[in-house]
C-alpha cells in the first residue's frame, strides 16, 4: 500500500494521510525513545506498543463499511484495555497475576478478544485459532482425561496470568517485538524510503549482469541484500520482483522459471541476517544466546542457500541457453557507487556499533537509523533537497508504523500460545510424546518435527510457526543431544518451507501473478531451485560445525565445502537435462557427501 492510498484503494485525503504520518512518527519516536530512556516497566511499554499497533490493523487496513465500523469498536476497546494496564502497572504488578474485580476480568477478556481479532485481521484465521484452542485448553483442560489434562485454574488466575503479568500477551516475546524488532523494522523502512533498494539492484547488476543467466543471478543477489533488511518473503517478491521478473522474461526466461527464481531468492531473506523476519531476535529471547552469535551461526547456512540457488540458475541457463544482460542495460559505475552508499553507510554503522564498540544490537541500529535518515536528504545526483527529505520521511513513517503493527499482531497472539503451554505444562507433555513416537531416536524425531513445522508454516507466518514448534519440539531435540542453536535453526528453516512448497506457498503465489504464469508451474521450478531449503537444515544436524564459524573456523569451513559440494551434485541431478544414470549417480553422491559420517 502506498502512502497516497488507503486500504480501500481510494485516494487518501490529505488530512487522513497526515494523520497516519503523524501516528507513524509517534510510533518511531516511542520505540526509539525506549532505547535511550532507561528501563521502562514491561506493563507500561508493552501495552503502549500494542496500543500504537491497533489503529494500523483495525482502521488503516479496513476494507468496506463493516470492517471500518467494527474496526473502530475493536480499536476503542483495545485502546481502553491497553491504557488501563499501562496506567495501573504498579498496582497490577502487586496482584501477582490474580484479578480482584469484575472490571479487571472484563478488561482481561476484552484484551484477549482484541488480540485474537487483531491477529486475524493481520494474517488470517490459523494463528488466532491455534491461540483460541490453547485458551480453551487452559480453561477446560481439567476435563481432559489422562496425562494430557491439567489441574483447574481459577478464572481470575488464568486471565490474570495472560494479561497482567509477563506470562501471557505481555510476555518476553512481546518484549522482543517492542525493544528490538521494532527498531530494525524502522531501520528497514528508512532504508527503503531512500535509494537503498536501487543500490541493491545496481550492485547486483554490476556483479552478476555480465554472467550467464545474468538476470536470475541479479535477482539472487538483490533479494539476498534486500531480504536481509525486509525479512519478509512476500515483501521481497513484491519489491525486487517488480524489476527482476520482467527483466528475466525479456532475456528469454520462461515465465515459470522467472517467477520461481524470484520466489526462491526472496524466501532467503528470512534466513539471512541481520533481521531474519524477526526470527533472530526471538531466537535470542528463547535461547539466551547473544545476537552476534546467532548472526554468526545463521550466516554460513544462509550463504549456502543462496549459493545453491545461484548454482541452480546457472544449470537452468546452460540448459535453456540464457545469456547475460546487455551492456546497455547495466548500470553505470557512478550510479552503482552512489546508490550503494545509501545502504553501505548504515550497514557499516550497524556492524561497527555491534562488533567494534560492542553496543547492543538495538543501540547500534539506532545509530544506523540516524545515518540513514541523514541520507534521505540526498538524491542520486548527490544534491540535497528538504522537499525530497520530507516525502521520504512520510513514506518511512507510514511503512514503519504499518510493519511494526503487523509483527506486533503476530507476536502478541503467539505469546498467548507460549503462555498457555508454559502455564499448563502441555509443552513438556508434547515433548515426551515426540520422544515416545520417535523411539528416543534422533532422525525420526527430526522428521516428525520437520513435518509439524511444514504443516504449521503453511498456515501461519514463519516467525509464529517457529515459536510454536520450537516451544513444543525444541526440548525434545535438545534431549536427543542437539545443541540449542542447531535445534532452533532447524525448526526455523523448516517453518520457512511453506513459502515455496504447495499447497500454500505465499511467495510463489505472488511471483506467479507477477510473471503471468500458473502457480503450480512456478512452484515446480521453485522446489528444484530451492532444494537447499529442504536439505540444509538436515545437513546442519549431520554437520554441526557449520554453525561454529566463529569458534571452530576450520571445522566450519570443511562442513561448508562439504555441504556445498553435496548441494551442487543434487542440483545437477534435479535440473540438468542429461541422461538419467549420471543424474541419479550425482544425487546419490551428493547425499553421501552430505550425510555420510566423517
Over residues 497-501, the mean pLDDT reads: 86
Q: Residue 215: its pLDDT value, please?
A: 85
Over residues 330-343, the mean pLDDT reads: 90
Q: Residue 164: its pLDDT value, please?
A: 95
Q: Residue 5: its pLDDT value, please?
A: 43
**Band of residue 118 on the pLDDT scale cut at 50, 70, 90:** very high
Q: Residue 361: its pLDDT value, please?
A: 86
Is residue 2 predicted with pLDDT exceeding 50?
no
Q: Residue 594: its pLDDT value, please?
A: 94
* pLDDT tens digits for range 557-574: 999 999 999 999 999 999
Q: Residue 13: its pLDDT value, please?
A: 57
* pLDDT tens digits for range 381-431: 889 999 999 999 999 999 999 999 998 999 999 999 989 988 998 888 888
Q: Residue 275: its pLDDT value, please?
A: 67
Q: What is the 3-state secondary structure (H, E, C) of 305-329?
A: HHHHHHHHHHHHHHHHCCCCCCHHH
* Residues above pLDDT 90, as percent of the chain: 58
Q: Residue 282: its pLDDT value, please?
A: 87
Q: Residue 6: its pLDDT value, please?
A: 41
Q: Residue 209: its pLDDT value, please?
A: 84
Is residue 343 predicted with pLDDT exceeding 50?
yes
Is residue 230 predicted with pLDDT exceeding 80?
no
Over residues 102-110, the mean pLDDT reads: 97
**Band of residue 31 on the pLDDT scale cut at 50, 70, 90:** very high
* pLDDT tens digits for range 139-172: 999 999 888 899 999 999 999 999 999 889 999 8
Over residues 563-591, the mean pLDDT reads: 94
Taking the C-alpha atoms of residue 444 and residue 422, their distance in angstroms, rounded to an integer, is 25
Q: Residue 3: its pLDDT value, please?
A: 44
Is residue 226 predicted with pLDDT exceeding 80?
no
Taking the C-alpha atoms of residue 336 and residue 314, their distance in angstroms, rounded to an integer, is 24
Q: Residue 228: its pLDDT value, please?
A: 67
Q: Residue 77: its pLDDT value, please?
A: 98
* Residues above pLDDT 70, as percent of the chain: 96
Q: Residue 80: its pLDDT value, please?
A: 98
* pLDDT tens digits for range 241-269: 888 898 899 888 999 999 999 999 988 88
Q: Residue 459: its pLDDT value, please?
A: 62
Over residues 523-536, the mean pLDDT reads: 95
Over residues 133-137, the mean pLDDT reads: 95
Taking the C-alpha atoms of residue 108 and residue 46, their distance in angstroms, rounded to an integer, is 15
**Band of residue 277 on the pLDDT scale cut at 50, 70, 90:** low
* pLDDT tens digits for range 448-457: 888 888 877 7
Q: Residue 15: its pLDDT value, please?
A: 62
As a whole number, the mean pLDDT across the chain is: 89
Q: Residue 12: its pLDDT value, please?
A: 52
Taking the C-alpha atoms of residue 298 and residue 289, their distance in angstroms, rounded to an integer, is 12
Taking the C-alpha atoms of residue 257 and residue 248, their distance in angstroms, rounded to an integer, is 9
Task: Write phi, then psi, for 384 (nearest 5 degrees).
Answer: -100, 130
Burial 412-446 (b: 16+ CB within 10 A, else e): bbbbbbbbbbbbbebbebbbeebbeebeeeeeebb
Give the dihedral of Cα atoms 421, 423, 429, 431; nearest 10 deg.
50
Q: How many CB atoms lie under 10 A from the CB of residue 235?
A: 21
Pick the closest to residue 500 from 216, 265, 299 (CA basis): 265
Q: Are 167 and 308 in contact (CB under 8 A)?
A: no
Q: Residue 588: its pLDDT value, please?
A: 96
Taking the C-alpha atoms of residue 41 and residue 48, their distance in angstroms, rounded to an integer, is 11
Over residues 490-505, the mean pLDDT reads: 87
Q: Residue 4: its pLDDT value, please?
A: 39
Q: Which segment, 230-234, 354-358, 534-538, is predicted with the most confidence on average?
A: 534-538
Amino acid at each position: 500500500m502506498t502512502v497516497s492510498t488507503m486500504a480501500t484503494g481510494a485516494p487518501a485525503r490529505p488530512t487522513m494521510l497526515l494523520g497516519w504520518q503523524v501516528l507513524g512518527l509517534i510510533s518511531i519516536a516511542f520505540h526509539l525513545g525506549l532505547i535511550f530512556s532507561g528501563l521502562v516497566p514491561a506493563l507500561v511499554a508493552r501495552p503502549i506498543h500494542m496500543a500504537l499497533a491497533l489503529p494500523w490493523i483495525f482502521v488503516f487496513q479496513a476494507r468496506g463499511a463493516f470492517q471500518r465500523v467494527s474496526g473502530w469498536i475493536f480499536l476503542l476497546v483495545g485502546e481502553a484495555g491497553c491504557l488501563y494496564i499501562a496506567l495501573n502497572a504498579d498496582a497490577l504488578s502487586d496482584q501477582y497475576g490474580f484479578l480482584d474485580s469484575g472490571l479487571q476480568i472484563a478488561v482481561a477478556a476484552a484484551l484477549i478478544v482484541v488480540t485474537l481479532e487483531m491477529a486475524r485481521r493481520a494474517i488470517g484465521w490459523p494463528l488466532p485459532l491455534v491461540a483460541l484452542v490453547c485458551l480453551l485448553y487452559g480453561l477446560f483442560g481439567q476435563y481432559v482425561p489422562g496425562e494430557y489434562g491439567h489441574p483447574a485454574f481459577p478464572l481470575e488466575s488464568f486471565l490474570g496470568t495472560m494479561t497482567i503479568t509477563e506470562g501471557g500477551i505481555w510476555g518476553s516475546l512481546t518484549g522482543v517485538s517492542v525493544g528490538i524488532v521494532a527498531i530494525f523494522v524502522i531501520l528497514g523502512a528508512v532504508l527503503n524510503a531512500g535509494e537503498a533498494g536501487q543500490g541493491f539492484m545496481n550492485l547486483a547488476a554490476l556483479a552478476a549482469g555480465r554472467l550467464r543467466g545474468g538476470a536470475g543471478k541479479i535477482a539472487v543477489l538483490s533479494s539476498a541484500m534486500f531480504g536481509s533488511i525486509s525479512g519478509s518473503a512476500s515483501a521481497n517478491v513484491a519489491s525486487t520482483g517488480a524489476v527482476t521478473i520482467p527483466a528475466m522474461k525479456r532475456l528469454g526466461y520462461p515465465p515459470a522459471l522467472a517467477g520461481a527464481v524470484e520466489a526462491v531468492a526472496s524466501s532467503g531473506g528470512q534466513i539471512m541476517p541481520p533481521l531474519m523476519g524477526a526470527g533472530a531476535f526471538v531466537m535470542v529471547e528463547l535461547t539466551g544466546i547473544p545476537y552476534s552469535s546467532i548472526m554468526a551461526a545463521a550466516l554460513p547456512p544462509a550463504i549456502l542457500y543462496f549459493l545453491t540457488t545461484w548454482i541452480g540458475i546457472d544449470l537452468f541457463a546452460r540448459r535453456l541457453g540464457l545469456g547475460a544482460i546487455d551492456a546497455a542495460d547495466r548500470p553505470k559505475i557512478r550510479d552503482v557507487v552512489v546508490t550503494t552508499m545509501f545502504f553501505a553507510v548504515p550497514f557499516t554503522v550497524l556492524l561497527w556499533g555491534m562488533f567494534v564498540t560492542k553496543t547492543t544490537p538495538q543501540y547500534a541500529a539506532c545509530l544506523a537509523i540516524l545515518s540513514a535518515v541523514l541520507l534521505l536528504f540526498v538524491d542520486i545526483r548527490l544534491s540535497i533537497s528538504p522537499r525530497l527529505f520530507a516525502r521520504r520521511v512520510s513514506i518511512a513513517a507510514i511503512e514503519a508504523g504499518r510493519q511494526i503493527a503487523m509483527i506486533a499482531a503476530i507476536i502478541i497472539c503467539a505469546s498467548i500460545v507460549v503462555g498457555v503451554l508454559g502455564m499448563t505444562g502441555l509443552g513438556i507433555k508434547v515433548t515426551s510424546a515426540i520422544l515416545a513416537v520417535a523411539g528416543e531416536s534422533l532422525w525420526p524425531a527430526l522428521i516428525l518435527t520437520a513435518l509439524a513445522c511444514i504443516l504449521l508454516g503453511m498456515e501461519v507466518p514463519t516467525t509464529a510457526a517457529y515459536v510454536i514448534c520450537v516451544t513444543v519440539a525444541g526440548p525434545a531435540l535438545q534431549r536427543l543431544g542437539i545443541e540449542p542453536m542447531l535445534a532452533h535453526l532447524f525448526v526455523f528453516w523448516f517453518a520457512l518451507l511453506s513459502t515455496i512448497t504447495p499447497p500454500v506457498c505465499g511467495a510463489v503465489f505472488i511471483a506467479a501473478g507477477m510473471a503471468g504464469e500458473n502457480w503450480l508451474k512456478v512452484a515446480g521450478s521453485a522446489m528444484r531451485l530451492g532444494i537447499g531449503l529442504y536439505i540444509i537444515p538436515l545437513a546442519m544436524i549431520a554437520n554441526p560445525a557449520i554453525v561454529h564459524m566463529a569458534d571452530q573456523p576450520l571445522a566450519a569451513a570443511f562442513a561448508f565445502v562439504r555441504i556445498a559440494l553435496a548441494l551442487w551434485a543434487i542440483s545437477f541431478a534435479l535440473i540438468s537435462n542429461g541422461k538419467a544414470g549420471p543424474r541419479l549417480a550425482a544425487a546419490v553422491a551428493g547425499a553421501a557427501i552430505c550425510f555420510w559420517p566423517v
